[in-house]
Amino acid sequence: MNVTLYGFFLLPGTLFLTRGSSPATTGVHWEVTMPACPVCEADVPVSADALVHELVDCGDCATELEIASLSPPVLREAPVEEEDWGE
């Protein structure tokens, strides 16, 4: 995806990013939410195109997290790898 980020501003709990330079998407706004890490309570950025059950890492404590909900944004610890996981 040809996207260039050129600015952002913060509101409590929410980071708004504005993107430009992509001919097809100029003027579209990305909303990046910042739910708390359930382990260390640091803010963890979750992009607007994220999906429920997608995995993200906490930048502070490095815990692997799963997006439990997008509205409201909620994170939980990712399930631990089980014996039958794989391809």
Nearer to another protein, 43 or 66 (CB): 66
Find the shortest distance in angstroms from Cβ 56 to another protein: 11
Query: Strand pairing partners for 4?
Result: 20
Cβ at position 87, least distance to another protein in Å: 4
Spatial distance between the Cα atoms of 43 and 64, rounded to a whole number of angstroms: 14
Residues that bind another protein (CB under 8 A): 51-55, 66, 78-79, 82-87
Asked if 61 and 42 touch (Cβ cutoff 8 Å), the reply is: yes
Between CA 60 and CA 21 the distance in angstroms is 32
> What's the min distance (Å) between Cβ of 78 and another protein?
7
